[in-house]
Amino acid sequence: MARSTIDFGIDLGTTNSAIAKLNGTDTEAIKNNEGFETTPSAVWLDKNQKLYRGKPAYERLVLEPHNAFGEFKIQMGTSAEYIFKRNGQSMKPEELSAEVLKSLKEAVLQKTGENLQASVITVPAAFELPQNDATVRAAKLAGIEIAPLLQEPIAAAIAYGFQSDEKKAYWLVYDLGGGTFDAALIQVRDGSIRVVTDGGDNHLGGKLIDWAIVQELLVPTLKKQYKLTDFTRGNENWLSAFAKLKQQAEIAKISLSQYESTQIRFDYLCHDDDGEAITDFDFDLQRSDVEQLAEPFILRSINLCKAALQEKGLSRDSIEKVLLVGGPTLMPYLRERLADAHEGLGIPLEFRLDPLTVVARGAAIFGGTQRLINSASITFSRKAYRVELEYNPIGPDIDPLIGGKVIGSDGERFSGFTIEFVNDEARPAWRSGKIQLESDGFFETTLLVERKKRNTFSIELCDAIGTRREIEPDTIPYTVGQTITAQTLTHDISLALANNTVGKIFSKGTELPVRRSNLKVTAAYEVKRGDGQAIRIPIVEGESKKADRNTKIGHLEIPSDKIKRDVPAGSEVEVTIEIDASRCVTLEAYLPILDQDFLGVMNRDDYGKEATTPLELEEEFYWQKKRLDKAEKISWQIQHTEAQTSLSRIEKEGLTNQIETSLSAAYTDVNAASEAHATLDIYSRYFLETVYTDQMGYILYKVK
């Protein structure tokens, strides 16, 4: 029997990935060939030019850092490339991600015999549109032709709420992964799950704690014991050593979720300045030390959660529970901090589901709502009638409404035809009764379903004389359960105008899919037919009123060789923009002066933020720090409470230290450079939005 709903869900993670399958009302995390429910997101090229994914690749990260790569999810949607030193081959982040997806597909084939061609794939809520688009490309490269995207915190909420009897509540999803953090406010009401608001940080994750252990504890100890000149993460000569330190720090951190202390040991780390091998290095890592290092990152996540609540005017008393997602949430100290009513969230914590697979499980449940019936990938028999159905395969009703249309040969009428839905597995067996089709094939009826199981109905079509006729599909599923009503935009979407302002198209929180037509803009300059120029209108994502402070996600482009004649400056362009449920954007344009339509004019070649060199980042950080040092002095002189609070937040969240640490590695680690860039953006935003205001801003301006 052909599958009629997707039923599979993939959590494509920074550190680890997982795939799950929906079986009735239960989910199964599918184990890989090594017998684990999670697969390391790593790729390695061996000496025979063969690519390995998962555990073999993860183990090679420390031995061959130039031929094995991980954490490439952080670079999705950028122009970054990973070059294998062994043969000079370069791969984009989405190409490496595709290899991880292929390994998950292989696990499905081995365990179920299915050649996976459709799966829901999750992305962080904080992902911007270029990153979503890159994820879709990764799926296509892996042979997953149908890949709706689902935000990770929503997937977690679905996993918790699917068979819940909750009628009305607010939940807060706290999703701290290896490389990203999401905070999503979820409303459960009348059998549906809705996203109220979300926020997060694409560069806040457990890996920051790992690197802090390395930089603050392991490296100083090694330097005291051995001769190691310029032993820094940013030194190309020590790449392998730092990869080993980071991997062991991660393993030790995980161990400390169960124990008060653990040993970090190396039989061999590297050679010192005298050529002596560093062996038998032994470090006693204490849970209390890791807790102290993790505190700034935990605090930043808590502040993001509080900001999400404040945005909607909700207090912690309005929230029923916090759903914990991601491996780092197993840390006892983190849970204590979240539960703390004084300095944390003070909201009850929910962690009954495995935080490592809960996202994949929720994605699989969402996959159960995604019908494949009308997919172009399904081939119908020419002899059979076809039925197009309108209904949701998962919903809160025990008597769901279902409608549809039977389609036959061209012009065929259906007077006297009947259709009937039958559930033989019900006790007693249930039949809808014969439903008369309208002459054009339309019908409508209700089903009677049972809770706590997947109900499968066979479809029986009879002609006017009562003869059974073949119909496709011949079965449909329905399960009583809670699921989401719609995903939402996580940022404003706007046109970037010539004066560096924005023309907002859609606001953050808009439900998807969404379409808007007849947006009127004007061409900033004349374009002559065939002169090699083009009409270009950038599209940006973000909440800033200044266009260049948002993320450019692409641009509308009408080349001069496509226009009928010259277009004067100031000519009107009518734009239509559509964003689907996976947050993928398409554009259309119409030039009234030419009476000419242009389809598919979204140019994605410049997707993502512009690359910034480590030198430029260092210079920006230098000036930002000078401004903040000046602001701190003045804030105390004039007792500016708001500025003092913001400056204190920068210090407590460890932003300065994180930028310095990232910049020290930026010349050899593309992820560190991105991390520094992103943290500088936060640094700048705190200054511009909360420090450089009112009287404080005036004084700073005067003393510049």
pLDDT per position as a tens digit, 293-306: 999 999 999 999 99
Which has the minimum average pLDDT: 47-61, 478-492, 688-702?
688-702
- 506 vs 510: CA distance, rounded Å: 7
Q: Copy the structure tokens of residue 694.
A: 């009112």
- 85 vs 74: CA distance, rounded Å: 21
Which tens digits make up the pLDDT trace of 541-572? 988 888 887 888 888 888 888 888 999 988 99
For the chain, the domains span 8-164+358-367, 385-483, 493-603, 614-703
Q: Does the pLDDT value for residue 584 go beyond 90?
A: no
Please count the other Cβ atoms lying within 10 Å of the Cβ belonging to residue 545. Answer: 13
- Type of residue at 426: A
- 636 vs 587: CA distance, rounded Å: 51
Q: Could you give the angle at which helices 641-652 and 614-638 cross, rounded to 10 degrees?
A: 140
Mean predicted confidence (pLDDT) in 373-392: 68
Q: Coil, helix or strand for 64? A: coil
Q: How far is CA 214 from CA 221, 464, 587, 667, in A?
A: 10, 77, 47, 18
Q: Say if 8-164+358-367 and 385-483 have the same CATH topology.
A: no
pLDDT grade for 702, boundaries at 50, 70 and 90: very low
- 47 vs 63: CA distance, rounded Å: 13
Mean predicted confidence (pLDDT) in 424-451: 94
Mean predicted confidence (pLDDT) in 43-69: 94
- 607 vs 367: CA distance, rounded Å: 28
- List Cβ neighbours of 230 (8 Å cut-off, separation of 6 or more): 237
Mean predicted confidence (pLDDT) in 127-131: 87
pLDDT for 703: 43
Strands in 450-579 per DSSP E: 454-462, 468-469, 471-472, 475-480, 483-484, 493-496, 502-506, 514-522, 534-541, 551-559, 572-579
Mean predicted confidence (pLDDT) in 191-210: 89
pLDDT for 551: 83
pLDDT grade for 683, boundaries at 50, 70 and 90: confident
* Beta carbons of 118 and 363 less than 8 angstroms apart: no
Q: Does the pLDDT value for residue 382 go beyond 80?
A: no
- List Cβ neighbours of 689 (8 Å cut-off, separation of 6 or more): none
CATH of domain 493-603: 2.60.34.10
pTM, rounded to two decimals: 0.89
pLDDT for 609: 52
Which tens digits make up the pLDDT trace of 352-370? 999 999 999 999 999 999 9
Q: Does the pLDDT value for residue 497 go beyond 60?
A: yes
Per-state percent for the chain, helix, strand, coil, to nearest 5: 35, 30, 40
Mean predicted confidence (pLDDT) in 82-102: 95
- What pairs with residue 602 in β-bridges? 556
Please count the other Cβ atoms lying within 10 Å of the Cβ belonging to residue 14. Answer: 23
* Beta carbons of 505 and 521 less than 8 angstroms apart: no
- 314 vs 306: CA distance, rounded Å: 9
Mean predicted confidence (pLDDT) in 42-69: 94
Q: Does domain 385-483 have CATH number 3.40.50.10310?
A: no
What one-character DSSP code corresponds to residue 501?
B
pLDDT for 458: 95
Q: Cα-atom radius of gyration of the chain, to the nearest Å? A: 28
pLDDT grade for 692, boundaries at 50, 70 and 90: low
CATH of domain 8-164+358-367: 3.30.420.40
pLDDT for 147: 95
What one-character DSSP code corresponds to residue 437?
P
The residue among 617 and 339 whose pLDDT is bigger is: 339
What one-character DSSP code corresponds to residue 2?
-
Residues of the chain above pLDDT 90, percent: 60
pLDDT for 606: 46
CA dihedral 427, 428, 434, 437 (to 10 degrees): -20
DSSP 473-496: S-EEEEEE--EES--B-SS-EEEE
Write down the mean pLDDT value for the chain.
89
Q: Does the pLDDT value for residue 608 go beyond 70?
A: no
- List Cβ neighbours of 116 (8 Å cut-off, separation of 6 or more): 8, 104, 105, 108, 109, 144
CA atoms within 13 A on the CB side of 459: 24
Which tens digits make up the pLDDT trace of 245-290? 999 999 999 999 999 999 999 889 999 999 999 988 899 999 999 9
Q: Does the pLDDT value for residue 700 go beyond 80?
A: no
- What pairs with residue 534 in β-bridges? 559
Alpha carbon 1 to chain centroid, angstroms? 33
pLDDT for 298: 96
pLDDT for 57: 96
Positive/negative CA dihedral, 434, 438, 439, 441:
negative
pLDDT grade for 378, boundaries at 50, 70 and 90: very low
246 burial class (0-12, 13-18, 19+ CB within 10 angstroms)? buried
- List Cβ neighbours of 638 (8 Å cut-off, separation of 6 or more): 695, 696, 699
Mean predicted confidence (pLDDT) in 441-469: 95
Strands in 222-357 per DSSP E: 261-266, 281-286, 321-325, 349-350
Is the previous residue joined to 396 through a cis bond, with omega within 30 degrees of 0? Answer: no
pLDDT for 542: 87
- 681 vs 631: CA distance, rounded Å: 18
